Amino acid sequence: MKNQGGGWRMESTPVKCDSLPTVDTDGSPIRDFGGFTSCFATPSALCMKEQLVDLISCGFTREYLDKNQPPIEISEWCACRDDCGGTYLLNVTLLDENKHNMGNYHVEEDLSGPKGKEWKKVSHTFSEYGEGIRYVSFNHAGSGSAHTPGDFGSKMSGGIVRVLE
């Protein structure tokens, strides 16, 4: 975890942006938030954190992962305050048992302008990545365009790593 400025904050409900969405564009319920209404908020300065998901500890066997190479879906929702733009970054890496890179997905979202306050889903599905994957590194970060103390950076919620069987 790397914190600059005031560090990461948890907002019980998003402040100065739209509420987390409850239905998708087709009207189906969004379950990504697990019933929660909270989000992480960053200050203006860059803040990042990483979670390492051990697929073997999650119950998958080496044989299953190597033979089937099941699709691995990653996603997260991001937004920004309505009075300040920001940047959201997501970097997800598939790793082998020695933690060598076996595949990577990176996205940077500019959340400036009037649509920045609307929650946007960022997602990617890894497939046909080869034998040997054992970990998923989920690293997200955010910052704001204002150089003001407080939570003026990007917001994120509903981060998911899902192995599709």
pLDDT in tens, 118-162: 999 999 999 999 999 999 999 999 998 877 666 678 999 999 999
Place of tokens 């997260």: 76
Cβ burial of 154 (10 Å; 0-12, 13-18, 19+) is buried
User: How would residue 39 be classed by pLDDT, with cut points 50, 70 and 90?
Assistant: very high
Does the pTM of the predicted model rise above 0.85?
yes
Beta bridge partners of 106: 91
pLDDT on residue 150 = 64
Percent with pLDDT over 90 in the chain: 75
The answer, yes or no, to whether residue 6 has pLDDT greater than 90, is no
pLDDT on residue 7 = 78
Residue 5 in tokens: 């400025």
The answer, yes or no, to whether residue 77 has pLDDT greater than 60, is yes
Give the phi and the psi of residue 110 in degrees, each rounded to 5. Answer: -85, 115
Contact 71/31 with Cβ under 8 angstroms? no
User: How would residue 18 be classed by pLDDT, with cut points 50, 70 and 90?
Assistant: very high
| Residues 50-69: tens digit of each pLDDT | 999 999 999 999 999 999 99
